[in-house]
Amino acid sequence: METERLWTLFQVDQQRIGALDTGMITIRGWTITVMSAIAGISLSQHHHSLLLVAVVGTVLFGLLDARYRRTQLLHANRADKIEQVLVPEYRLRPPDPADASRRSTLIQYRTSIFFYTIVIVLLLLLLWVGPQ
């Protein structure tokens, strides 16, 4: 009975991890779409202050993405623990000697940080080199 309950919980976690991935991809897509539109309007209408709005919007989208990632990591950690209980001899990843729970936050969020940093740098570059 306990094994079935854990297996069900594991499956729910795996579904949530996938759904959260889809959500994060959607957030990143909206980031590019909305910020490109704002940057285009800013440059075509010579309202450079709109580029700062785009930077702030990117930061807000990034915070939303980080919240999704945090929830995803919680599900992944629980799924790992359930996996260790159900099938201790089967590990997708080799055991981490430093324990996965102590991994740097920056490492766990590196793709998000990289993505939003690039978008912000491009927007600031547009602000800096854009027509005055």
Q: What are the sequence ranges of the domains in the chain?
A: 2-129
DSSP element (H, E) containing 80: helix 49-86
User: In the structure, what pLDDT confidence band is assigned to residue 56 with cuts at 50, 70 and 90?
Assistant: very high
User: In the structure, what pLDDT confidence band is assigned to residue 92 with cuts at 50, 70 and 90?
Assistant: low
DSSP element (H, E) containing 96: none
User: In the structure, what pLDDT confidence band is assigned to residue 1 with cuts at 50, 70 and 90?
Assistant: confident
3-class DSSP state of 88: coil
- CA distance from start to end of the chain: 70
DSSP element (H, E) containing 74: helix 49-86
- CA 4 – CA 123 distance, rounded (Å): 51
Alpha-carbon distances, residue 11 vs 81, 88, 90, 100 (angstroms): 13, 17, 16, 21
